[in-house]
Amino acid sequence: MNQIGASTWIWTSPFSDSDLPLIARVRALGFDVVEIAVEDPDAFSVERLRSAGEEAGVGFTVCGAMGPDRDLSHEDPEIRANAIAYVHRCVEIAAGLGAPHFVGPLYSAVGKTRMLEPSEREAQRKLAVESLKIAADHAAAHDVRLGIEPLNRFETDLVNTAEQALELVDRIGSGHVGVLLDTFHMNIDEKSIADAVKLAGDRLLQVHTCENDRGTPGTGHFPWGDLFDALKDIDFQGPLVIESFTPGIEEIAKAVSLWRPLDAPSDQLAERGAAFLRASLTPPIAA
């Protein structure tokens, strides 16, 4: 049975100890999992957060915020080292929360888009692979899996499709690295939602679910039937996490082109989205 999750970015940015009451609220809105978006690893206590989750009866997953100084494929070795240290810290946070995954566009900074020659792009990929091999070893030591997330072409120049993400995973060569697919990005860059899901297969760890405009699932033109049919075909058992954004987000607002409020207030978006996902996953009762 798939768990339904919600990203803290729906409500707050950056997540901190002052947001701990949100954990019980997310549970009350119908979610099984809270995805902690880690912009500042020092802004919250892992112990207090884990206790809040246990009290509310929810699990966790962890998502990264890859800004310009957290770039695993940057030419500057100091920036790569800073990014690796950040990923290691997030892996430790995930382990401390009992979260199975640390996910995101871990290969590069969000919003980094450049016209490069093929040889330059390959050099960028090699740096990403080199950095992610180090991160994967750390993840393995903490029994956490990394989820590589393709972003659309307007947010990254490196990994835009499931096929490209899987190529990167193959080059990293670790059983502790898989793929996260996001419906917003898939809607832009995949030829077929179903084919992308099936290509990921058993390496698909998690799915970020939001509408084609990043709003409430089920309110736009994203082909949800294709997604759910494909997830059933691969027997996907991972979490489906609604990732949307509060207008006050700081770390990646420009990178994700968040210029206006989305289609509903945060609680309403989350509650209606959760109901839609649960209804879509529930088999119809035979007549």
Residue 143's φ and ψ, nearest 5 degrees, are: 55, 40
Which position among 149, 155, 190, 271 bears the catalytic label?
Answer: 149
Q: What is the largest CA-CA distance in the chain?
A: 63
What are the b/e assignments for 235-261, b being 16+ CB within 10 Å? ebebbbbbbbbbeebebbeebbebeee
Per annotation, catalytic residue among 35, 155, 243, 251: 243
Question: Is 243 a known active-site residue?
Answer: yes
Q: What is the 3-state secondary structure (H, E, C) of the chain?
A: CCCEEEEHHHCCCCCCHHHCHHHHHHHHCCCCEEEEEECCCCCCCHHHHHHHHHHHCCEEEEEECCCCCCCCCCCCHHHHHHHHHHHHHHHHHHHHHCCCEEEECCCCCCCECCCCCHHHHHHHHHHHHHHHHHHHHHHHHCCCEEEECCCCCCCECCCCCHHHHHHHHHHHCCCCEEEEEEHHHHHHHCCCHHHHHHHHHHHEEEEEECCCCCCCCCCCCCCHHHHHHHHHHCCCCCCEEECCCCCCCCCCCCCCCCCCCCCCCHHHHHHHHHHHHHHHHCCCCCC
Active site residue 271: no
Which residues have a catalytic role annotated?
149, 243
